[in-house]
Each structure stands twice: as C-alpha cells, then as structure tokens.
Structure 1
C-alpha cells in the first residue's frame, strides 16, 4: 500500500534485511563490538601475521530536537524533530498511530516508523485514556485547579513514554521527520480517535492487533475492528508475525536435563525388572513348597490307612485263637 502511494519513491529499494522495515539502518560489523574480544583478536592476528580488518564506522545518528510539553484542554503534546524535515521537496504526508502503550501498539509504531515514513513526513502518536473525572471543565474554577494540574501531569507522563518509544526507533533510522506524541483524557476513546482522524485528515491510521481472531475480536469489542468499520481513512492493522514452534528433536532438545548414570531411566527400568523377577521367583518357590507339603501329607495319610488295616486283621486272628483254646 505504501509503495503504491509513493510514486516518486525508490523503485529499486533493497529488501528488508532485518525484518524491521526498510528505514532501519543495518549496523556495521561487528554487530556487538567488544573491546576485550577486539584486543585479543587483534593480538592473535598480529602474532599470526594475518590481514588486519578494516575499521568500520558506526551509524551516525541525526540531530534530534524535543520540544517542551504543550498543554491544551484534555491533552498534552510533545514534538520530536529528527534531522531537517523541511529540506525534502516531497509532499508531506501525515500518519496517525493509535497506541495504548501495549506490546502490540509498540509493534504498530515500529512498523509505521520502519516502513511507512519517508523524509519530510509527519507522524502523530495518540494515546487516549478513558476517564470522565479527569476531563478539564469548560470553565475552570479555583477548586478544580489542583485536579487539573494532576491530570496534566498524568498526560505529560504518558506523552513522555510515547516520546521515549519513538526516539528509540528514530535513532535507528536516517529519516528527516517530525513525530508528535499526544496524550488525551476522554469519555470514550473510540469516539475521540475518530474525531482526531477527522480533524487531522491523515493519509493512514495505524493500529495494533492482539491476534484474537475475527469472532473473539468482535465479541470483545475490538478497537481495531471498530476503527476499520467507522474510520474515514485507510486503517493499517499491524500484527506481529507469529513465531513458529520449535521442531521436536529426540537428541538435541534443550529441555532435556543431563542426569547421572545412577539416575538414568535405564537403571530405573532394570531395577523394576529385577524386582519383578524376584517376585516371580518367590511365587515359584511358594508353589513348590505348597506342592511338596501336599504330597507329604498324602503319603502320611496312606501310611496310616495301611497300619489300621493290619491291626484289624491281627485282632480277628487273636480272637479266633483264644476261642479255640477255650473250647479245648
């Protein structure tokens, strides 16, 4: 979309090397210079007689000017100018970024500065806090002065947070632009954002997305969905690219903990197998003992039965013998 709206832009622009926008300057090598590593590396190279590396110049940041806070009714504005925005002969474009100081809004701001802005453009970063009690009265009284001062201090703090976010991103670019950071107190944040867009008539409105999906976003009353339906200018919903889950590896998994050989899983399995074998051996031994006791008991019963039969026979013969003797 930005490429179509910029006919005088550079057509042969290099692709985004860092994935953070075409405006982000690629840092020179080494990316993370260290005096200790550099000295040791240079000493080793000097001893070995190898070629010396060329000294690389670091990215020189453009001059940055921050204005004093401008207090108006229900809002506080701080302007940040980098470089010379008036030197560009291009037609100035205005972009509005709606921020709620969340991680998604920060990515929307990063996308707007890294991809959308060009030299001479202007960006308005707006954050709206819904609080009816902190709205400035139309006719201020002496009793409302303390409340108004506290509200202005809160807006000033929010505006400086936006300035800090914008400055950290601008210093990584070579853009000659003006960024205005504005904090509001309003009854309804969505209606105020629409009023700000209608008053300034920007080229584009940039908002963040939490990635909740269509149905969940509608049920929760997504602000980005509301602005898309009601806004009078194009709305860019910047959503961070989802990270792919790491591939599962049986050998190179980082979550695997190195344990000693005594605590290894194979030892636990072996101990369990030995325990099962011991239990089976005890059961077999009990069966053998039970079988031996049963056989011994059967043999004893058979012996007792034979002895009883022999005793009965002897008694019969004795009676007959005595009877015969008496008769004689």
Structure 2
C-alpha cells in the first residue's frame, strides 16, 4: 500500500524532469527544422525558414554546435522532403540521424492580432524519446530578430553560453535589415530554380544593398552558373566588419577562387574560414582543392575531419570514396 501518494507523485515528476533537458546539452549537435505555420495566412510560409535560419545563427553565436541551414535543407531533399512542407516527428528524427544531430529543434509560429507573432518550440532527441520544455516567445512581427534571440536565451542558460567572439552578434547584424528583405531572402532559400532564386535575392538587395547573407548567396549563384569572376562583384560589397559569421564570406571566396582555377588563393581563403569556425563544409572544400593539387595526404586529413563532424554529408562521402582509390602515377 502506498502510504504517501503525494511523495510518490513528486518523485515521479522529478524523475521525468531529469530525463527531459530544459535546454541544450553541452557538446551535443543540434538541427533546427523550419517551424510550422499555424496561421491561415499562406503568404507567411517563408517565415518558418526565416525562423529556422535565425535560430540556427543565434545558437551558433551562443556556442552551440548546429547543423547549418544549408546542410539541413540538403538533408531534407535527400530524404524526399521539402523545406516548405510540415515535417512529421518521424521524418524529423530520420533527418536528425542522417545529419548526425543528437537533438532537433521543432516548433510552430502563429500570427497574432495587431501584427503580433508567437513562436513556440522544443527540442527532441534523435531517438524521439526525450523532449525539452516548451518555449514560447511573443512580440511583434517587425521584431522577429529580437524574438529569435530571446527564444535562444530561454533555451540556452547563460552559464552554458560561450563568450561572444570578436565582432558583432547576429542580432546586431540583422537589426538593420528590413523584414521585406528577410522575407525575400527566405523565399529564395526555399526555391531550387536558380532564375527564381536570383530574382528574389536581387529584390532583397534592392531593399538592403548591404545584406551580407543575400550578397554571399548571390555570389554563390554566379559560381554555380559558371561565372566565378562575377561572384567577386557581389562579395566585394560585403561589409566584413558588420558580418556576424565572417567565415561564410571566406568560404564563398574560396569557392570563387577554386572555380576560377586559383588553387592557392582558394586554399588561403578556406583556411581563413576554418580559423574562424570549424565546419565540415570548409574541411571538404579545402580537401578537394588540396587533392586537385596532388596533396593527397593533407586532403584525406581534412576530409576525414569533415566526416567526423558530418558523417553522412554527400560531398564528403564522395570525396572520401574518390581518394580511397589508388592514386595513379605517371609511368
């Protein structure tokens, strides 16, 4: 017979609370999925992507290891899903495992009266067995960037946040970007057609000519379309002192030099990106350029380092397979 049901219930609640992290776990890897639109306004579909991009950046700034927004979008395509569509919990867990993430951050957003906005979300383990506490922030739509920062501060205790790197924060960078530019940029990231993406990015830059994320993506489009020389016209407009993640700028410059056949400059720029933040993408790109120059040993080291960070990245796996074959030498 249970003598004190209240004590038993209290113990059970403590046990459940211990199994469900209130916030992020130090050393673990997180993936932020596009938040689901709970508003009937279909025109707001882009906001789920904007929230995911913003939360990822704020988590990175707090020192949390996160899957990049680009890698997350690629991962969704790899499992046959679209960033514009709601993702079920089962699909989210499948994606997390594919991306090598320990946890996923999922949630919803709702447009409130008088241009208000509610953002709600929680973290779920890649095994789908544990959930963190529900976090909700509310404010006005025009203050989206502040709401994202507030959400992350509720998720990541101050004691777990890393000291701010030199430079500016994502909040400082985005505080001057018009919401109209954020919308156009987010919509651009959701389309695969390069012509549509170019048009949306160009329009985003008409509203904010120094929007660094749009400038970098516009440069990457030039590279993808076989015009690496033209990419520098866009990259040269980036005000590096006002960029929260300058490694993305150096990575794009490395891509431009690599596409233009200048391996030495590409290597220098990729190394600058890695010096600022260790990412799988930078390791893979550096490894690829080193391999092209015959530096196979160093190339393998970087590709292995990248695969340690992202074991299922298609770019890294393809490079690893290519370099695993015997290297041909002249007769």
Fold agreement, TM-score > 0.5: no
Q: Relative to total residues, which structure has the larger strand share, 1 or 2? A: 1
TM-score, L = length of structure 1: 0.22
RCO comparison, higher one (Cα < 8 Å, 6+): 1
User: Whose radius of gyration is greater, 1 or 2?
Assistant: 1
Q: Relative to total residues, which structure has the larger helix share, 1 or 2? A: 2
